[in-house]
Amino acid sequence: MRIIVGLLLLSGLSLAQAPDVKTVSGSTAALYQMAIGNVIKAAEAMPEANYGFKPVDTVRSFGEIAGHVANAQFTFCGAAKGEQKAAPGADKMKSKAEIVAALKSAKSYCDTAYGMLTDANAGDAVKFMRGERARIGVLEFNTVHTYEHYGNLVTYMRIKGLVPPSSQR
């Protein structure tokens, strides 16, 4: 418990905002807050001049990855809420300000999905992609996907000589 609370504090959340990590739904929400918090901080820390940076031509740029994360939040969290929410097209945005704003908007949208998650409704089936999945499974998938791409962003930051948010003390 102390580790999760400590990580929440490092991610910029106050204890008043922290989900109840003694519940399954609260633990799921807490891990999401860490993941998206790190992505947003990485997007804020990367200089705009590096938003087009790609280590090789065959991969997404830093900005494209951050935009992809913003878009995906609407897909995952919309499914968990029983909605189809259109993504903002953030993977096509070029400016740092637009992409950071899209990430923050996506987080706000997802905060409502994680906020309505309870231990009682976590197992409810929701439509997702071509079938159904437990609501908590969709939200956990979102967190895993967010962290997967945070790992990409970390690599790009390290290549550019920047310390990623999760490594800062």
In the chain, where are the structural domains located?
2-10+23-162
CATH architecture type of domain 2-10+23-162: Up-down Bundle (1.20)
What pLDDT was estimated at residue 6?
46
Residue 127 pairs in a beta bridge with 132
Where b means 16+ CB within 10 Å and e means fewer, 47-86 reads: eeebbeeeeeeeeebbbbbbbbbbbbbbbbbbbbbeeebe
- Please give the Cα distance from 70 to 87 (Å, whole number): 8
- Please give the Cα distance from 111 to 104 (Å, whole number): 10
- Amino acid identity of 101? A
Q: Is 78 helix (H, G, I), strand (E, B) or coil?
A: helix
pTM value is 0.87
What pLDDT was estimated at residue 114?
97
Residues of the chain with pLDDT under 50: 1-16
What pLDDT was estimated at residue 85?
77
What pLDDT was estimated at residue 17?
64
pLDDT tens per residue, range 119-128: 999 999 999 9
